Structure 1
Amino acid sequence: MSTAGSSPVTDWLDHLIILPILVPLAVAAMLIPINERERMLKGAIGFASTLVVFVVAVILMRFAAAGPDSLPGTGVYQLGNWPAPFGIVLVLDRLSALMLCLASGLALAAQVYSMARWHTAGHHFHSLFQLLVAGLNGAFLTGDLFNLFVFFEMMLAASYGLLLHGSGPVRVKAGLHYIAVNLAASALFLIGVSLIYGATGTLNMADLATKIAGLAPDSRRLVESGAAVLGVAFLVKAGMWPLSFWLPTAYAAATPPVAAVFAVLTKVGIYVIIRLHLLLFGAAAGTSSGFGQDWLIVGGMLTIAFGGIGVLASQAMGRLAGYSVLVSSGTLLAALGLGHQAMLAGALFYLVSSTLTIAAFFLLIELVERGRDAGADVLAVTMEAYGDFDEDEKEEEVGAAIPGTMAILGLCFCLSAVLLSGLPPLSGFIAKFALLRGLFAMPGSDLATAMSAADWTYVALLILSGLSAMIAMNRIGIRTFWASIEGTIPRVVVIEITPVVVLLAACIFLSLEAGPAMRYMQATADDLFQPIVHSERVLSAPRAGGR
């Protein structure tokens, strides 16, 4: 990794940036020849790989957060020692480090949860899981659009197998819809990339940022057309209405550990939109500045409304969690579209908090519904959706059953409800407060004239979405934990409840450390609103062994 003025003290860190891609990719290949009857061995190797990736991600995040005093420049890893824009580069900054840490933490929790029983539902679970992790990390680190397409496809190919992992017609039907939609999005991705390359002659993001302001009118229209097509591809993945019809059903049908990791897959689309929108169409983009911003505002707000209505209408917890993903995506897209720099730090805080919460809720759902009668709710997720295990497989669950099962599950459910609703004092409330504070921190003495109708609409939707989540979670919680229903107390083992507790504890820790976390998010937002500085750091990074 090349940084301007790097010292020998940081030389050992220089090659860490490629490890989040290289380690899971190598482990995925290594696990394929191992016999499927050695699932615990494969699980242990996969867990070790994911743990290494998480540790590396934490180190890289601390490295990126050190600031310009100890890291005078953006970290750039030049594959083959070819400098940008001619060679392939991996770029580490505060945003990519944040997403790396979030994705690897969720992957680690899902990996532990799957080893109780879910990895036995089909073949090559751990290889597919490692490929998914490698694709995710590559998408966050790559510095050019072509390799973004490569890692995006790696991630999607693994997600196809993971969504279909197991048995049951519900999962197969949802999986085939998921594959068809995402294949169409991939085709749009390739078309958009081709249009941009044809107009500019480059796919390096930093190089594009320096060229877009000086393009001729014809080339500029071609770039904007390519960016629009590319945006549709990523908005499909982000779940913006009306492109989100597939998401609640697909996520509800996935096995719990897969659904938990899928909670961060939608954030890949959000990440790329944040990256490209601020890098290519920021204030320095000339007449292209703010391109597509109005669509993000309208689409984001409609997604919040659609997701909020879906949350209220959901009778099954799986679909409620799926619509909560849409509310989260809509909140972030609308915040980005409004274009207020003061809001971006709050949006990034909300991204982390909402993703951790929804992932924990996906893991919790199956534990809560395990003791319920499968026919208690006509709209509940069927047993086929979670896979049908026979008695022999149930006896192979790993770990000891926890005492006070319903009390622990009830407490975790209450914490999830508070976080999803955005009630104080946890991180869900802090995130929404930070968003509103950034929105109200507008220039001008008169707040009523400083804020537009879109700003006030966003405030109303943010409050109403929290209210809908609170009503829906209260209704389901009363029906599940208080009302008299037929069913038995579920047998929950420690290895299953531990990831849920850890993810919820991470949200509590984020609440307690909100000050340092917001300072990091604010520094990240400041970096994103300086695209020319970012581009110069990437393009001027020296080659290894050179000056």
Structure 2
Amino acid sequence: MNALPWMQHLIVAPVLLPLIVGALLIPINQKRYPLKFALGLGSTLLLWVVAVALLLLADGEHWPDGIGVYLAANWAAPFGIALMVDRLTALMLVLTATIALAVLVFSARRWDRVGVSFHALFQFLLMGLNGAFLTNDLFNLFVFFEVMLAASYGLVLHGYNLRRIQAGMQYIAVNLVASLLFLIGVSLIYAATGTLNLADLGGRVATLGAQDVWLLQIGATVLALAFLTKGAMWPLGFWLPTAYASASAPVGAMLVLMTKVGLYAVLRVWLTVFGDQAGALSGFGLAALTLGGMATLLFGAIGMLASQDGGRMAGYGAILSSGTLLVAIGHSGSPVLASGLYYLLGSTLAMAAFMLLLELTERLLPPGAAMLAITMEAFAIEDKPEDPVGVGIPGALAFLGLSFVACALVITGLPPLAGFVAKFSLFHALLAAAPAPLPATTWLLIALILVGGLAAIIALMRLGVRTFWASGVVTPPRLLFSEAAPIGALVMLCVLLTVQAGTVFDYLGRTTEGLMRSGDYSRQVLGEPPVQRLPDLEAVR
């Protein structure tokens, strides 16, 4: 018998740990809140440790080609359930656990007490997210998507009010339609190829007949519609600003992460199935993703300028982020993709911090201030408050202001933080990858990214002036340490991402090089042997 080393079991831990803890949390009465919070926080902290360990194992070449495989039922792929971790998977697991920790700490004194099932639903949400990153099978990807969505339905309605219920119903309806498209796409792909294992699909695509190729293309297109609905590509992302504006602050921060799951699925499926071993179908649909990304950038820029509410502004900011990432995926070159992944890290951390920050900044405004500010702006009423001469800026107000500025710098791509580094490297990669003379589409793409950043600057500057200056409030708001610390931590991670940009880009370079070698991916997954079982005692006798 050859037993698996204990480190190999870490691959399944991000799925099993939140599943077990979430089930344990369900019967615990809300009166025992400290126990529920301790279990949820301990589970999430352990998830972060496991995710970091998997990242070190993948990048340290503990597994061949940095790809670890876990056969969940000990059936060899493609017949069994195979979980896979590589550098990209490990990176997404670390990002998920980091934001989840910040959200849980932020929720500790208020939001997790509004409903009885917050902690259980939060753990099931983490299970779905982690499973979607780890799975190597399209049907299991559907299962994990549904676990994630089912938990998010309850969380979007958490602390419900009329506005939240209306937005939640729209969110549920849109995602149910997307799930139906997901099933249809998976069914068509299985009918064309006879398999749903991604590694196996990548090896079969080049050998399909003409009729099966046509069926596969239809199935992949329908599947992409499902992914891109969740990833907020125009016009499929119409639901997202309303959901962001209506959700509670912690749930909004997790929605930022959930939006990236659809884009991750597109990246993983397309580079594996339509990668370098797909023959004539290599690169299928990537040009459409680039065009969709450009349209999404334009839509997000217009939405940012048209928004007055901070939550809707954040929603359109997430759409801008999705457009930029779709462009990076559509180009699929290693340097462009590495810049896109760096942008994903910075924008996701900054947007999650921004969603949490919005709730705290609302405490600066007296009731009705937002409506009054919009009215004043519409009629060009000038009402500049007097400067508070001799009054120092309180610590809480300074923290909110500096955090807002830091988030705005990353989201808009202004120097010196990670957003600027990401966009500068993306422009450099796009120009270097384009043939000479540079095509008009490359210039148009760069112009759209710049326009999106300019729109975000105008919108966020307007929101900042309205919040920190036009309201005339000088009394510092009451902030709890558990509310300020997660935002500060996420902002500092954006700063660290900037300072350590060279190290991060080295890692992302290795990540994208591995993604481009779809043959290595298929070979590792399909070649993973099952664990030998103990011989039957009667047979031995």
Please give the TM-score of this superposition, normalised by the length of structure 2.
0.92
Structure 1 counterpart of 2:383: none
Mapped to 1, the partners of 2:439 and 2:247 lie a distance apart of: 41
Q: Tell me the residue number matched to 2:469.
A: 482
* 1:121-520 superposed matches below 5 A: 121-378=114-371, 404-442=395-433, 446=436, 449=437, 451-485=438-472, 489-520=476-507
Bigger shift: residues 38-47 or 517-526: 38-47
How far, CA to CA, are the matches of 2:50 and 2:318 in structure 1? 28
Q: 1:303 to 1:19 in 2, by over 3 A?
A: same
CA deviation map 1:445-480 (0-9, x unaligned): x4xx1x322211111111111111111111111121
- Between the aligned partners of 1:170 and 1:380, the Cα distance in structure 2 is 21
Query: 1:542 Cα deviation (Å)?
Result: 2.0
- 1:21 is the counterpart of 2:29: no
CA RMSD between the two structures: 1.9
**Residue equivalent to 1:397:** none
Matched, 1:540 2:527: yes
- Larger deviation, residues 136-145 vs 519-528: 519-528
- The alpha-carbon deviation at position 532 of structure 1 amounts to 1.2
Q: In structure 2, how many angstroms separate the alpha carbons of the residues matched to 1:413 and 1:316?
A: 15
Compute the displacement of 1:283 (Å).
3.2
CA distance in 1, matches of 2:247, 2:472: 25
Counterpart-to-counterpart distance in 2, 1:279 and 1:72: 15
Deviations 1:297-349 (A, max 9, x none): 11111111111111112112111111100000010012211333320000010
Distance 2:396 2:244 in 1: 26
Equivalents in 2 of 1:420, 1:278: separation in Å? Answer: 27
What is the distance in 2 between the residues matched to 1:440 and 1:167? Answer: 48
Distance 1:433 1:338, change over 3 A: same
Distance, in Å, in 2 between the alignment partners of 1:327 and 1:108 is 25
Size of the alignment, in residue pairs? Answer: 514
Counterparts of 2:426 and 2:372 in 1: how far apart (Å)?
Answer: 34
Task: Tell me the distance in 2 between the aligned counterparts of 1:38 and 1:200.
Answer: 52
1:377 Cα deviation from its structure 2 partner: 1.6
**Contact 2:353–2:490 (8 Å) recurs in 1:** yes
Structure 2 partner of 1:522: 509
1:267-324 C-alpha deviation (Å, 9 max, x unpaired): 1000000011111112321222222122211111111111111111211211111110
1:379 Cα deviation from its structure 2 partner: 9.3
2:302 maps to amino acid: I
Partner Cα distance (1:297, 1:124) in 2: 40
Q: 1:73 to 1:96 in 2, by over 3 A?
A: closer
CA distance in 1 between partners of 2:445 and 2:94 (Å): 29
- The unaligned stretches of length 5 or more in structure 1 are 1-5, 382-401
- Is 1:50 matched up with 2:44? yes
Q: Is the 8 A contact 2:334 2:509 kept in 1?
A: no
Quote the Cα distance in structure 2 between the aligned partners of 1:204 and 1:250. 33
Q: Do 1:163 and 1:258's aligned partners in 2 also have CA atoms closer than 8 Å?
A: yes
Letter in 2 for 1:35: N
Alpha-carbon separation, structure 2, partners of 1:530 and 1:340: 12
* Equivalent in the alignment of 2:106: 113
Kindly indicate whether the alpha-carbon contact (under 8 Å) linking 2:58 and 2:66 is maintained by their aligned counterparts in 1: no
Secondary structure in 2 matching 1:178: helix
Are 1:66 and 2:67 an aligned pair? no
Point out the more displaced range, 59-68 or 45-54: 59-68
Further displaced range: 452-461 or 498-507: 452-461
1:67 Cα deviation after fit: 3.3
Check the 8 A contact 1:315/1:379 in 2, yes or no. no
Instruction: Tell me if structure 1 keeps the 8 A contact 2:77–2:526.
Output: yes
Report how far residue 73 of structure 1 moved. 5.0
Conserved in 2, the CA contact under 8 Å of 1:78 and 1:90? yes
Task: Return the alpha-carbon distance in structure 2 between the equivalents of residues 379 and 340 of structure 1.
Answer: 49
Instruction: Tell me the SS of whatever aligns to 2:84.
Output: strand
Are the aligned partners of 1:63 and 1:71 in contact in 2 as well (CA < 8 Å)? no
- Could you tell me how far 1:167 is from its partner in structure 2? 2.3
The alignment's TM-score, normalised by the length of structure 1, stands at 0.91
- How big is each residue's C-alpha offset from its partner over 1:80-105, in whole Å with a ceiling of 9 and x where there is no partner? 21111111010011111111111111
Q: Which amino acid aligns with 1:437?
A: H
Question: Is 306-315 or 167-176 further displaced after alignment?
Answer: 306-315
Q: Is the 8 A contact 1:360 1:503 kept in 2?
A: yes
Give the structure with higher Rg (CA). Answer: 2
Q: CA deviation at 1:36?
A: 1.3
Q: 2:475 & 2:394 partners in 1: Cα distance?
A: 14
CA distance in 1 between partners of 2:509 and 2:65 (Å): 18
SS of 1:356's equivalent in the other structure is: helix
Give the whole-Å Cα distance in 2 for the aligned partners of 1:196 and 1:359.
35
Q: Is the 8 A contact 2:286 2:331 kept in 1?
A: yes
Q: Aligned in 2, Cα 1:505/1:130: closer, same or farther, shift over 3 Å?
A: same
Aligned to 1:80: 73
Instruction: Give the Cα separation in 1 of the matches to 2:372 and 2:516.
Output: 45
The letter of the residue matching 2:154 is: G
Q: Residue type of the partner of 1:416? A: C
1:107 maps to amino acid? A
Q: Distance in 1 between the 2:267 and 2:465 partners? A: 39
1:489 Cα deviation (Å)? Answer: 3.3
Q: Report if the CA contact (8 A) 2:256-2:318 is conserved.
A: yes
Query: Do the aligned residues in 1 keep the contact of 2:369 with 2:471 (CA within 8 Å)?
Result: no
**Equivalents in 2 of 1:403, 1:464: separation in Å?**
35
Cα deviation, 1:106-145, whole Å, max 9, x if unaligned, reads 1111011111201122220000000000000000000101
1:36 aligned partner, one-letter code? Q
- For residues 244-279 of structure 1, the C-alpha deviation after alignment (integer angstroms, 9 at most, x for no partner) is 111001011111111111111011000000011111
SS at match of 1:76: strand
> 279-288 or 453-462: which moved more?
279-288
- Matches of 1:479 and 1:233, distance apart in 2: 38
Contact kept? 1:338, 1:455, Cα under 8 Å:
no
Pair 1:67–1:434, CA change in 2 (3 A): farther
4+ aligned runs moved over 6 Å, structure 1: none
Secondary structure at the aligned position of 1:489 is classed as: coil
Q: Name structure 2 gaps, 5 residues minimum.
A: 375-392, 534-541
